[in-house]
């Protein structure tokens, strides 16, 4: 399932590091519209979760999922999952604009929720999600995979916490993706459904900027979107970039696009550069072009010199175990609810303020 050239079906595989007993954390899955569901479920299962029930209207998608997770059973409806007394968490990679409303149903059923990014697409949905989280006390987790499911990104965060580059002053992200337009469903090109490029894949970048900056919020300086090469899809955006300033003064910038060329050996040459007062870090997430087809490279330059870390297999994906324990223990160690919602809030602000390049 780790299809590196195909971003929509890229599902990282890590080492099994269970944080709970077998059967202690039963999971239901509703909505298989995006292949990210496999990465989400891989991470949860490696941390000790058990996929018990799955539902989707598409029989072919259900068959594919059950081949990957034979321990699961196809539910007769989403209501069967929502009403189950056993299920503790519902995971979903449904169409983006339905992820938020589904989450409200899940929370009100007394279960925690884990949504693919973007977890919702409008300010109205966000306001309602915040309200229902407050009312129910349930968790609304988000799969910001470009940080949570990349060992180099995890490693870079550890280096920052250790003071390797001093105080962070700027974070810059690059999130190119391969389009593979002929394989995409109709909803992928409908802005109302996918949310716009700055929400769909921009929220990844904003989540990283806030995390590496140690910030709680950010304001948009400018944001831009364009449709340069897919004019036949009039509601599609294939380019976007944003400049922002974090509430602690850290500068941020990111660019996202759908222009990964056919010759690249990965679905996107995702990179992040973090500049500090005493050094800088570059993360080359999925490939080191013309040098190594493997991903998870971290480059560090500081007073000790130049260092290159191959991070794969070194620090794993701690988010998933921490998230499961948070659900079981009612703690908030994996990611705060305010942070999960703030990343998508800033992304929606960026989209709503964006100038369109003609």
Secondary structure string (H, E, C) spanning 102-127: HHHHHHHCCCEEEEECCCCCCHHHHH
The DSSP output letter for 21 is: -
The torsion angles phi and psi of 129, rounded to 5 degrees, stand at: -65, -45
Residue 333 has pLDDT above 50, yes or no: yes
Closest CA to 201 of 157, 232, 241: 241
List pLDDT tens digits, range 103-141.
999 999 999 999 999 999 999 999 999 999 999 999 999
Q: What value does the mean pLDDT take over residues 272-300?
A: 97
Chain centroid offset of residue 297 CA: 19
* 90 confidence band (pLDDT: 50, 70, 90): very high
Residue 254 has pLDDT above 90, yes or no: yes
Query: So what's the pLDDT on residue 52?
Result: 98
Chain centroid offset of residue 293 CA: 23
The DSSP output letter for 354 is: P
* 163 confidence band (pLDDT: 50, 70, 90): very high
- Compute the C-alpha angle 172/174/180, nearest 5°: 165
Question: pTM (2 decimals)?
Answer: 0.95
CA end-to-end span of the chain, whole Å? 38
143 contacts 232 by C-beta, under 8 angstroms: no
Specify the DSSP element, H or E, that contains 87: none
List pLDDT tens digits, range 22-73.
999 999 999 999 999 999 999 999 999 999 999 999 999 999 999 999 999 9
Strand locations in 159-267, DSSP E? 168-176, 218-226, 239-246, 251-257
How large is the C-alpha radius of gyration of the chain? 19
* 1 confidence band (pLDDT: 50, 70, 90): very low
* Distance in angstroms (rounded) separating the CA atoms of residues 342 and 358: 30
Helix axes 318-329, 36-46, angle to 10 degrees: 70
Contacts of 222 (CB under 8 A, 6+ apart): 242, 243, 353, 355
Query: So what's the pLDDT on residue 288?
Result: 97
List pLDDT tens digits, range 341-358.
999 999 999 999 999 998
If phi over 0 gives left and psi between -120 and 50 gives alpha, with beta otherwise, what is residue 42?
A: alpha
Residue 84 has pLDDT above 90, yes or no: yes
Residue 13 has pLDDT above 90, yes or no: no
Residue 6 has pLDDT above 80, yes or no: no
Q: What value does the mean pLDDT take over residues 294-314?
A: 97
Domain range summary for the chain, segments of one domain joined by +? 7-144+318-334, 147-316+348-357
Q: What value does the mean pLDDT take over residues 83-107?
A: 98
The neighbour count for residue 93, using CB atoms within 10 Å, is: 25
Query: So what's the pLDDT on residue 228?
Result: 98
153 contacts 147 by C-beta, under 8 angstroms: yes
CATH superfamily of 147-316+348-357: Dihydrodipicolinate Reductase; domain 2 (3.30.360.10)
Burial letters 130-143, b for 16+ CB under 10 A, else e:
eebbeebebbbbbb
The torsion angles phi and psi of 322, rounded to 5 degrees, stand at: -65, -35
* Distance in angstroms (rounded) separating the CA atoms of residues 160 and 190: 38
Q: What value does the mean pLDDT take over residues 289-317?
A: 97
Average pLDDT score over the chain? 96
Query: Which residue carries 């977890």 as its tokens?
Result: 119
Fold agreement between 7-144+318-334 and 147-316+348-357: no
The yes or no reply on domain 7-144+318-334 and CATH 3.40.50.10470 is: no
User: Sign of dihedral through CA atoms 32, 151, 250, 335?
Assistant: positive
* Distance in angstroms (rounded) separating the CA atoms of residues 217 and 343: 8
* Distance in angstroms (rounded) separating the CA atoms of residues 201 and 135: 29
* Distance in angstroms (rounded) separating the CA atoms of residues 152 and 180: 26
Residue 238 has pLDDT above 70, yes or no: yes
* Distance in angstroms (rounded) separating the CA atoms of residues 62 and 184: 18
* 7 confidence band (pLDDT: 50, 70, 90): low
Q: What value does the mean pLDDT take over residues 226-247?
A: 97
Closest CA to 128 of 99, 87, 89: 99
Residue 14 has pLDDT above 80, yes or no: no
């Amino acid at each position: 399932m780790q299809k590196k050239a195909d971003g929509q079906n890229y599902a990282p595989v890590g080492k099994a590091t269970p944080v709970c007993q077998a059967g202690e954390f039963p999971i239901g899955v509703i909505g298989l519209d995006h292949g990210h569901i496999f990465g989400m479920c891989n991470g949860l299962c490696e941390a000790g979760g058990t996929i018990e029930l799955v539902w989707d209207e598409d029989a072919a998608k259900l068959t594919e999922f059950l081949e990957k997770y034979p321990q699961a059973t196809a539910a007769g409806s989403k209501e069967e999952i929502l009403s189950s007394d056993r299920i503790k968490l519902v995971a979903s990679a449904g169409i983006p604009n339905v992820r938020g409303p589904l989450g409200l149903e899940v929370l009100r059923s007394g279960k925690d929720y884990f949504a693919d990014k973007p977890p919702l697409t409008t300010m109205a949905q966000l306001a309602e999600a915040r309200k229902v989280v407050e009312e129910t006390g349930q968790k609304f987790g988000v799969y910001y995979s470009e940080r949570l499911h990349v060992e180099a990104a995890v490693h870079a965060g550890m280096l920052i916490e250790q003071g390797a580059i001093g105080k962070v002053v700027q974070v810059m992200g690059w999130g190119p993706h391969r389009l593979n337009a002929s394989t995409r469903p109709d909803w992928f090109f409908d802005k109302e459904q996918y949310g716009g490029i700055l929400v769909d894949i921009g929220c990844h970048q904003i989540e990283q900027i806030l995390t590496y900056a140690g910030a709680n919020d950010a304001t948009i300086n400018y944001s831009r979107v364009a449709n340069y090469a897919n004019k036949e899809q009039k509601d599609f955006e294939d380019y976007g970039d944003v400049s922002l300033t974090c509430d602690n003064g850290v500068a941020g910038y990111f660019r996202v696009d759908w222009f990964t060329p056919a010759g690249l050996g990965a679905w996107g040459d995702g990179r992040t550069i973090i500049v500090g007062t005493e050094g800088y870090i570059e993360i080359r997430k999925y490939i080191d072009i013309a040098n190594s087809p493997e991903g998870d490279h971290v480059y560090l330059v500081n007073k000790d010199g130049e260092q290159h870390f191959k991070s794969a297999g070194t620090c794993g994906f701690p988010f998933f175990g921490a998230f499961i324990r948070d659900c079981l223990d009612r703690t908030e160690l994996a990611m705060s609810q305010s942070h999960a919602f703030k990343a998508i809030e800033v992304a929606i602000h960026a989209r709503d303020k964006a100038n369109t390049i003609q």
